Amino acid sequence: MSNLNKSLKLNPRLFAADIEQLPTRFGYGEGLVIAGREDPNIVALCADLTDSTKTSAFKKEFPDRFVEVGIGEQNMASLASGLAAIGKIPFISSYAMFSPGRNWEQVRTTICYNNQNVKIAGAHSGVSVGPDGATHQAIEDMAITRVIPNLVVIAPCDAIEAKKATIAAAKYKGPVYIRFTREKTPVMTTEETPFEIGKAEICREGGDVSIIACGPLLYEALKAAEELSKEGIEAEVINNHTIKPLDTQAILKSIKKTGCVVTIEEHQAAGGMGSAISEFLSQNHAAPMEIIGINDRFGESGEPNELLKVFNLTSENIIDRAKKAIKRK
Amino acid sequence: MHLDDEKIKSLEGIANNIRQNIITMLLEAKSGHSAGPLGMADVFTILYHTDAIKHDPKNPEWEERDRIILSNGHICPVLYAAMASAGYFPIEELKSLRKFGARLQGHPHRLVLSGLETSSGPLGSGLSQAAGMAYGLRMDKKKNQVVCLMGDGELDCGQIWEAAMWAGKNKLDNLTAIIDRNNIQIDGFTEDIMPLEPLDEKFISFGWHVIEINGNDICAVYDALQQARAVFEKPVCIIAYTIPGKGVDFMENDFNWHGKPPNGEEGKEALKQLRTLGGKIESEAQ
């Protein structure tokens, strides 16, 4: 634990067997209410998934600022663009597969090309959605959003960070996409942990390999680093919650120090966070790189932890790939 | 208020001018759509040159303005020509249509040309945006009207019906949709591509008030917009029957003119027809 970055004030019970667990979408629900209290222009739209996207708390406190759209995600995105044109700050919520999945063109043209101040909350990202199966597991959402100009893309690591990201998105002027997950995951950060859009945080310092994660898989990265440390390998672990704009300065600084990098995300390996980092490094500071993600497959039904193992989104795989990256230096 | 004879004559002159400018722009651009813009010149004349819609070319951001949303962005030559003649930007700028660096993008872009409420082109999303604006204005207890212009071809898009359902549910009486019912789309006649009739009944069943008019009759367009303001508890759909290519005989009612510009010779002939009012007057000089 000695290499953990103390200034981040991470959860002191980070590696306790019974670390508190919460779904990141809970943080969204809470953050939306807090943002709503601070700014009367915030309105929430939902496409018939109010409870599971946790928009329900906002609906309860601000019934006049809650808009039920029904199962029409394309309409929802463009309605939000129109509301933003009048000065509202709309948050649109659904499963990521449908928003920004099904309504991608409306997000691109009516929200982002217009540069309207709309926030897109995509719940149920990743294979850890579990039993619902591939149809509802969004593992392409970061790829399709990060290629849209003006759009900020955030993948919070836990419920507390999700809350902060939601509040920060409300204050940020311009379109933002935030992805959330369905299942309970370890709460790694605390209320005191800093969060700023576009600023990656070094959770653990090390000089042998950089491990860059986004979303709840940051926990696997931290566990892997502890294990590697026992073998004398010191990994630097970065919470790269903002996929766009990428904190290229922090990434470059770390990789100049460590000389190699492993990335992990609950997303297709193609087009996601690893891709974004690879695009940057290949043109600025090429270094051996291992990208852990889902390799051109659809998800399937199963228990969340079972699926994470099947898809090799585990600390064990991070350890193997870190060693591989170090060998390739 | 009704339009008096003098005003009608003046508006018909403006509409004719807008049509001539459309032809000139398309000739210069060498690409773009002909039929839709010509057919909608009368509607746009009413929108930008009468008191039917509150707007101020010198102050495009005026808070009390009504909102005009063009959903079928491809007919933007008529929007640009109407905006220029109303004073939003110099007439001369019309010649920059579709050129690199121009404010007059091939499909409208809100962020480069002030006076536009949205960027549009991909069909089917304008009505949702207009409904969102109408809802937002009502939340703020504002009285501004929102007018959404749509093509009939884009009614094939499912999103239109999502928006129609939602606007009906929310009784958005500050929202007026004007459908350019010209019966053509790129691949052919709308009723061959994807039948829309009975169009009036579709909107009525979605909770809308429907007004059907001759969209090339300046008075009818004006009266319909006046009537729309008087309808409460329902959004209004004006089905404006127009002649695509109106004013140029070889373009009228021919779907082949939906998506192409005239060549040099065709353009010359088109301008001649417009300037002589289809041969009614001899001199092209006006």
- Whether A93 is covered by a domain: the verdict is yes
Residue A158 lies in a domain: yes
Residues A177 and A294 in one domain: no
Q: Identify the CATH number of the domain in which residue A136 sits.
A: 3.40.50.970
Q: Which one of A64, A72, A82 has the shortest CB-CB distance to B136?
A: A82
CATH numbers and ranges of domains, chain B: 5-275 (3.40.50.970)
Q: Which of A204, A213, A128, A196 is nearest to A161 (CA)?
A: A196
Q: Do residues A34 and A179 share a domain?
A: yes
**What are the beta bridge partners of residue A176?**
A119, A152
Q: B163 to chain A: nearest residue by CA?
A: A75
Task: Classify burial at B102, counting beta carbons within 10 Å of its beta carbon; exposed 0-12, middle 13-18, buried 19 or more.
Answer: middle
* A149 and A26 in a common domain: yes
Residue A198 lies in a domain: yes
Statement to judge: residues A305 and A221 lie in one domain: yes
Residues from chain A that touch B118, judged by Cβ atoms under 8 A, are 81-82, 85, 110, 114
Are A1 and A222 a contacting pair, CB within 8 Å?
A: no
Q: Looking at the 3D structure of chain A, how many domains does it have?
A: 2
Same domain, A43 and A71: yes
- Give residue A118's Cα distance to chain centre: 18
The answer to whether the CB atoms of B133 and A86 lie below 8 A apart is: yes
What confidence tens digit (pLDDT) does each residue in B11-22 have?
999 999 999 999
A174 is in which domain, residue-wise? 21-186
- Output the domain CATH number for residue A226: 3.40.50.920
CB count, 10 Å around CB of B119? 25
Check whether residue A47 and residue A132 sit in a common domain: yes
Residue A199 in any domain: the answer is yes
Q: Is B175 on the interface with A (CB under 8 A)?
A: no
Residues A44 and A165 reside in one and the same domain: yes
Mean pLDDT for the stretch of residues A300-314? 97
pLDDT in tens, A213-261: 999 999 999 999 999 999 999 999 999 999 999 999 999 999 999 999 9
Report if residue A235 sits inside a domain: yes
A73, A140, A183, A220: which one is catalytic? A73
A131 plus A169 within the same structural domain: yes
CB contact (8 A) between residue A72 and residue B132 = no
Q: Name the helix (H) or strand (E) containing A309.
A: helix A304-310
Residues A180 and A198 in one domain: no
Last residue of a domain, one of A186, A203, A219: A186
Q: How many CB atoms are closer than 10 A to CB A131? A: 11
Residues in a beta bridge with B177: B148, B237
* Pair (A178, A303) in one structural domain: no
The pLDDT, as a whole number, for residue B280 is 79
β-strand partners of B179 = B150, B239
Q: Is A259 helix (H, G, I), strand (E, B) or coil?
A: coil
Provide the shortest C-alpha distance from residue B127 to chain A (in Å): 8
Question: How does residue A99 score in pLDDT terms, banded at 50, 70 and 90?
Answer: very high
pLDDT digits 0-9 by tens, B225-273: 999 999 999 999 999 999 999 999 999 999 999 999 999 999 999 999 9
Span A114-121, mean pLDDT?
A: 98
Q: Please name the member of B121, B132, B158 whose beta carbon is closest to the beta carbon of A82.
A: B132
Cα angle: A31, vertex A119, A198; to 5 degrees: 80
* Whether the predicted model's global pTM rises above the 0.90 cut: yes
pLDDT band of residue B279 (cuts 50, 70, 90) is: confident
Phi-psi map region of A307: left, alpha, beta (phi>0 left; psi -120 to 50 alpha)? alpha
Instruction: From B76, B13, B68, B75, select the one nearest B42 (Cα to Cα).
Output: B13
Cβ of residue B125 closer than 8 Å to a chain A Cβ: yes
- Is the separation of the CB atoms in A178 and A119 below 8 Å? yes
Bridge-based pairing state of the strands A152-154 and A242-244 = antiparallel
Active site residue A236: no
Residues B158-170 pLDDT 10s: 999 999 999 999 9
Q: DSSP labels for chain B?
A: ----HHHHHHHHHHHHHHHHHHHHHHHHHS-S--HHHHHTHHHHHHHHHSTTS---TT-TT-TT--EEEESSGGGHHHHHHHHHHHTSS-GGGGGGTT-TT-SS-SS--TTTSTT-S----STT-HHHHHHHHHHHHHHTT----EEEEEESGGGGSHHHHHHHHHHHHTT-TTEEEEEEE--EETTEEHHHHS---SHHHHHHHTT-EEEEEETT-HHHHHHHHHHHHT--SS-EEEEEE--TTTT-TTTTT-GGGSS----HHHHHHHHHHHHTTTTTSS-S--
- Is residue A81 in a domain? yes
| Residue A319: inside a domain | yes
- Decide if A1 is inside a domain: no
Residue A123 and residue A78 share a domain: yes
Q: Where does a domain end: A144, A163, A186?
A: A186
pLDDT class of B284 with cuts at 50, 70, 90: low
Q: Which of A19-28, B260-269, B277-286 has the lowest mean pLDDT?
A: B277-286
At residue B153, what are phi and psi to the nearest 5 degrees? -60, -35
Q: For the residues A259-275, what does the mean pLDDT come to?
A: 98
Q: What is the mean pLDDT of chain A?
A: 97
Residues of A with CB under 8 A from a CB of B: 43, 64-65, 67, 69-70, 72, 74-75, 77-88, 90, 105-106, 109-110, 113-115
Are A120 and A162 in a shared domain?
A: yes
Instruction: Tell me the mean pLDDT in the region B98-109.
Output: 97
Of the candidates A186, A220, A245, which is a domain's last residue?
A: A186
Q: What is residue A172's DSSP assignment?
A: S
SS3 annotation, A187-223: CCCCCCCCCCCCCCEEEECCCCEEEEECHHHHHHHHH
